[in-house]
Structure 1
């Protein structure tokens, strides 16, 4: 028993060390201070029923500095809540803003990729960089300029500067930090940038910067028309076309409140987790390993104490603390909240496992939908 627990602790130590190396050495950190880009840039904003939270996002876009040749294209994707009226009210007669009315996705297309496809097709032809921004993102004044500068400095085709995730509820704090923690812990960032393998890819669609020519070579969003995780699949398409991708800590550039309440968060993760893992067997293996590594140690520690096995209890407690340390490292590297949230990391992993199970269950029953549209 003690040998098995020791092996578990050593695996956790290696993973936490990998988190530390990723966060401290390989994670890109774009400068958020005054910077200017001279190339033309198009900011593309897909919108579907975003009236309640669009205003801060659009105001932050209109307040961008350091991009004298900036154009903003917003697309109202069949909204029923007056989203287009909010765009008109906030933008006024600003000549930098164009408002489009989207068309219904044709067969074989999901809503988000189709909206982005329409936006890219109507972007200023002179724009050499495209910046996709979701309506729940609020940008710092030099965010676009800094992100485009980092894209060029990295020599990348696609850059994903991950925003700071705003958490307010207990559900937020349990689930949302797992996004950054997962790729900092399990994805070798340096290898991801250097390797041409599409499987080594990550991206967040909330704030995504792409070189226009590289985007077109990859097939744009037409290449990911039916993909639920269109951001990650676009990064893979870029790699397949010979381009490079990069991740960055965008917590100093942007903030994002992804979901307002638990039902939204639950359904948002449920719609896409099945696509993260692929085959159910792969998902079962990954979830089982995560539970073994991060949820089992505190349970083993308690059981060992009750059974009078202090050495095993001490080892298991060490494993639990290593998991907590990895969560703290991830939070500090990405502008997240470390304490006391990291202490309940085992519970977070259990919730992730349940959401994954729910995702596959509802997909099998063809009951997955988002914003009123089926996704499977």
Structure 2
């Protein structure tokens, strides 16, 4: 047991070191950087978002005012049934830059969001494409700052990770793991330079991509059956010779992804089964997380100083990740082992639901590729 705790604490130390390095290297959109005018198209896929789409588009209209070149805001109503279509009609009347499209039924072999994004992209301009989810609120300088960073770095795809709102206990336990997961495991400097698809992290809530690179990679056709289409799209860009990376977008965008335990569970149930490539891969990753971040605090409760050190290293990694990406650090980071156990339960729930054919999202059955 002593050896196990030592190995776990050593792994937590290595993860902390990477988190510290990433906190130093992470890219951040800067609204003070001058952007060269070029066509920009904002693409917003919407399905049953009557409560969110108004706020999303209101923020985008303000951001669009600051874009120095031609800009369009394309919104696709993906067969909404909650009155979203009426809200969109009113918004389109108020601003000629907002163009509303009616989505067509999802073809066989496609998942809903990828098909919605594909339909949007077919009507987009050259220049820069910006994909935005309806629950995202962009800052006034979001488009200018993010596009400037894309061009200044020579990247083909940039994922400015929005600040994640987390209010209740379930959200505060789980949502911070989104940024922490790549801040503590992916060397961002190397990932930015590397063409290896495996070195990819992205968030489709707010995604900025060069239009030519997007089409060269096959667009959403290349990721049509992927549940995590955002990461898959970055991997497709890398396979086609492009480069891309995740960035800290907390100053330019925010998102309240899920509200309460029921939505947290449903949201992660639809996707976690596919996050690590296969069931054996999922088991391996979850086991490693529990080794590094659950075993040490259990040992600490039994009087192990090495275990206590390992626990504090994990907490420190969470604090640094939160402070680097606009999240809440205290006292939430102290519950990191409980966060990992909750994540473990959500992952198991997702895998079981996948294997029993019970995966659904927004009224649709999810049937991505079996792995």
Which bin holds the TM-score, normalised by the shorter protein?
Answer: over 0.9
CA distance in 1 between counterparts of 2:94 and 2:141 reads: 23
Aligned to 1:227: 226
1:240 aligns with 2:231: no
Contact 2:110 2:224 in 1 (8 A): yes
Q: TM-score w.r.t. structure 1 length?
A: 0.95
Structure 2's unaligned 5+ residue stretches are none
Aligned to 1:60: 59
Q: For each residue in 1:158-214, what CA deviation from the matched residue of structure 2 results, as whole angstroms up to 9, or x when unmatched?
A: 100000001111111000000100000011111111111111111100000010000
Contact 2:39 2:128 in 1 (8 A): yes
Cα deviation, residue 353, structure 1: 0.6
Q: TM-score w.r.t. structure 2 length?
A: 0.96
Q: For each residue in 1:28-77, what CA deviation from the matched residue of structure 2 results, as whole angstroms up to 9, or x when unmatched?
A: 01113575441110000000000011111110011114313211000000
Q: For each residue in 1:274-314, what CA deviation from the matched residue of structure 2 results, as whole angstroms up to 9, or x when unmatched?
A: 111121111111111101110111111112x3xxxxxxx11
Cα deviation, residue 154, structure 1: 1.4
Runs of 4+ in 1 over 6 A off after TM superposition: none
Aligned to 1:297: 296
**How do residues 322-361 of structure 1 correspond to structure 2 at under 5 angstroms?**
322-361=313-352
SS for the counterpart of 2:251 is strand
1:375 aligns with 2:351: no
Contact 1:35 1:66 in 2 (8 A): no
1:71 aligns with 2:62: no
CA distance in 2 between counterparts of 1:53 and 1:321 reads: 39
Aligned to 1:212: 211
CA distance in 2 between counterparts of 1:37 and 1:115 reads: 29
**How do residues 1-376 of structure 1 correspond to structure 2 at under 5 angstroms?**
1-24=1-24, 26-33=25-32, 35-64=34-63, 65-68=65-68, 69-123=70-124, 125=125, 127-303=126-302, 305=303, 313-376=304-367
How many residues matched? 365
Contact 2:33 2:148 in 1 (8 A): no
Structure 1's unaligned 5+ residue stretches are 306-312
CA distance in 1 between counterparts of 2:139 and 2:76 reads: 22
